[in-house]
A and B are shown apart, each in its own frame.
Chain A
């Protein structure tokens, strides 16, 4: 239930400031060469996940919502992981045994 919970303007402003700071950080990090191991992509995605969590928890009031809301939000994430994980573990393992296609 969310309509009973009014957050302060200050809290929204802090979240807003954090999101802007993280945006500048992720652009800045993109210009740094962190080696060829894919660390740049990992950091960019980690910052994106952090920003998404701030938006979901505070702007979308998930933190102050019912457990049922958490179940539905979590289900979306869970099925997304099945979609991406299931597809990638097929494609990434196709050539392991030298078979065609």
Chain B
């Protein structure tokens, strides 16, 4: 970018100040996201404490191996995202696009596995509602567990879908040569978002898939 005034909004003294404002703004947004997911995590903690046996029993109906594979897939996608940001910092256009494409691909694999799991849950009558079927003594609290399961993984999946949309926009911009070693703030900020969504999963995985194995 030869003329930095193209990318610097007039209210900022310089491009660094503009970058710092965007960076902090993104962390503030992620703080609101912590609160958003935090409400669901709090609800989960509350009901798990109230019905530990039913939550353990219901948790064992989730596929621990699909959960482990998906965790690994998401960590891979965070790795490729981090490398995309690194390429952006170095001003390398082609590697940015390739790493972003890889990140989208891994995100799609995650969603594919996730929706396969959803399909199994429908087949097994484990989706809360009229068709929910579970051993009678634990049925009501087990239904609560699966309500949390679908609400939390569903909101997480929605964040992944939004993330894939943001990555697509980045690829289009990168192809048009909008990023350089001096200006690549959008790549960094989407990177923060993607890593945050990864962190949400890092906590969902043990809480939903693992802690039910042994109380």
A interface residues with partner B (beta carbon < 8 Å): 1-3, 6-7, 9, 12-13, 15-16, 19-20, 23-24, 26-27, 30-34, 36, 38, 40-41, 44-45, 47-48, 51-52, 55-56, 58-60, 65-66, 68-69, 72-73, 75-77, 79-80, 83-84, 87-88, 91-92
- What A residues does B27 contact at CB under 8 A? 69, 72-73, 76
Q: Across the interface, do B202 and A52 meet the contact criterion of CB distance under 8 Å?
A: yes
Contact flag A56-B199 (CB < 8 Å), given A6-B89, A83-B42 = yes
**Which among A19, A36, A56, A66 has the highest number of chain B CB atoms within 10 Å?**
A19
User: Looking across the interface, which residue of chain A has its beta carbon closest to that of B48?
Assistant: A41
The answer to whether residues A3 and B210 also contact, given A19-B75, A77-B34, A88-B46 and a CB cut-off of 8 A, is: no
Asked if B205 is an interface residue, CB under 8 A from chain A, the answer is: yes
> Is B213 part of the contact surface with A, judged by Cβ < 8 Å?
yes
The answer to whether A44 and B206 have CB atoms under 8 Å apart is yes
Known contacts A3-B89, A73-B31, A76-B31; can you find 7 more A-B pairs with CB under 8 A? A26-B206, A30-B64, A44-B210, A55-B195, A69-B24, A77-B34, A79-B38
Residues B202 and A51 in contact, CB atoms below 8 Å apart: yes
Contacts of B188 on A, CB cut-off 8 Å?
Answer: 2-3
Interface residues of B (CB under 8 A from A): 16, 19-20, 23-24, 27-28, 30-31, 34-35, 38-39, 41-42, 45-46, 49-50, 64, 67-68, 71-72, 75-76, 78-79, 81-83, 86, 89-90, 184-185, 188, 191-192, 195-196, 198-199, 202-203, 205-207, 209-211, 213-215
